[in-house]
């Protein structure tokens, strides 16, 4: 089925370094959502992007939606230990009355 | 304002048994979805319930069934358990009216099949 591909699968960074995860789709997306899952926790909604070329910021997090609406990225500036976890992008297959398709996630590991 | 609550939090079953997992959606939400998350993987959509009916289903066999009650709570049933059913089962709720499609997840039920 239609999937979203996330890279990298794992990312080790030193605390204070920046981090970026990328999400790619072979088809045009109506929107893209990002979730964060802490170790042992459950996914928590971060943001939804809808418009082509959209950029949204949440403190140290910057989310982008590509011009062609086929890719998205999440960038974290100056990582902190609280950023540890897995970041998932997710898309809806159809018109809303359906389930989210999640990527496999990028596991962020921070070394103090 | 209670979020999504799931029970039980952990359970252990043996192959061939049946299991029922329960979910109460966030206050004000009317739509419940269930996801299966294997270790190290992203959640996979099982099905969604709205107005007590299954509205959409992912690529899961008929051994997986569900129900939604008039108070919007939901159950997930899995029959004839297989070792591969071991996973974290996540319930997520949303409010369909107004086109809201942001999911609020519960803490999950971790199922181990021996």
Contact call for residues A45 and A29 (beta carbons, < 8 A): no
Tell me the three-class secondary structure of B59-110, residue by residue.
CCCCCEEEEECCCCCEEEEECCCCHHHCEEEEEEEECCHHHCCCCEECCCEE
Over chain B, what is the mean pLDDT? 94
pLDDT of residue B63: 98
Sort out which chain B residues have CB atoms less than 8 A from A100's CB and list them.
33, 35, 43, 45, 103
Sort out which chain A residues have CB atoms less than 8 A from B56's CB and list them.
97-99
Question: Nearest residue on chain A to B88, judged by CA atoms?
Answer: A42
d(CA A34, CA B6): 23
Question: Nearest residue on chain A to B110, judged by CA atoms?
Answer: A40
Q: Any idea which of A8-12, B2-6, B19-23 has the lowest mean pLDDT?
A: B2-6
What DSSP state is assigned to residue A67?
Answer: T
Element (H, E) at A9: none
Question: Nearest residue on chain B to A89, judged by CA atoms?
Answer: B42
C-alpha closest to that of B101 among A35, A25, A24: A35
pLDDT in tens, B72-107: 999 999 999 999 999 999 999 998 876 657 899 999
Interface check for B9 against chain A (CB to CB < 8 A): the answer is no
Interface check for B106 against chain A (CB to CB < 8 A): the answer is yes
pLDDT in tens, B9-36: 999 999 999 999 999 999 999 999 999 9
C-alpha closest to that of A29 among A82, A92, A75: A92
C-alpha closest to that of A90 among A72, A111, A66, A67: A72
Interface check for A3 against chain B (CB to CB < 8 A): the answer is no
Contact call for residues B79 and B85 (beta carbons, < 8 A): no
Facing B56 at nearest CB: one of A48, A99, A102: A99
pLDDT of residue B75: 98
pLDDT of residue B96: 80
* Confidence bin at A34 (pLDDT 50/70/90): very high
pLDDT of residue B1: 54
Which residue, among B29, B43, B87, would best test binding to A if mutated, counting the most A CBs under 10 Å from its CB? B43
Contact call for residues B3 and B91 (beta carbons, < 8 A): no
Site of tokens 């921070």: A110
pLDDT in tens, A56-106: 999 999 999 999 999 999 999 999 999 999 999 999 876 545 689 999 999
Interchain pair B47, A99: CB under 8 A: yes
d(CA A61, CA A74): 7
């Amino acid at each position: 089925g239609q999937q979203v591909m996330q890279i990298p699968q794992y990312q080790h960074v030193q605390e204070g370094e920046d981090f970026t995860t990328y999400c790619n789709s072979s088809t045009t997306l109506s929107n893209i959502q990002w979730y964060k899952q802490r170790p042992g926790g459950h996914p928590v909604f971060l943001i939804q992007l809808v418009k082509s070329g959209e950029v949204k910021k949440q403190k140290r997090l910057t989310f982008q939606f590509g011009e062609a609406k086929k890719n998205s990225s999440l960038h974290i500036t100056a990582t902190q230990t609280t950023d540890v976890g897995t970041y998932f992008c997710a898309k809806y297959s159809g018109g809303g009355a359906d389930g989210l398709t999640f990527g496999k996630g990028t596991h962020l590991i921070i070394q103090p | 304002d209670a979020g999504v609550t799931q029970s039980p939090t952990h359970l252990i079953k043996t192959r061939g048994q049946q299991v029922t997992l329960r979910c109460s959606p966030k206050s004000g939400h009317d739509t419940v979805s269930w996801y299966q998350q294997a270790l190290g993987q992203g959640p996979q959509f099982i099905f969604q319930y709205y107005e007590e009916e299954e509205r959409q289903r992912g690529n899961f066999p008929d051994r997986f069934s569900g129900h939604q009650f008039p108070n919007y709570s939901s159950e997930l049933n899995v029959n004839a358990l297989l070792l591969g059913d071991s996973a974290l089962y996540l319930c997520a709720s949303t409010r369909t009216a107004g086109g809201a499609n942001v999911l609020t997840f519960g803490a999950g039920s971790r199922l181990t099949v021996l």
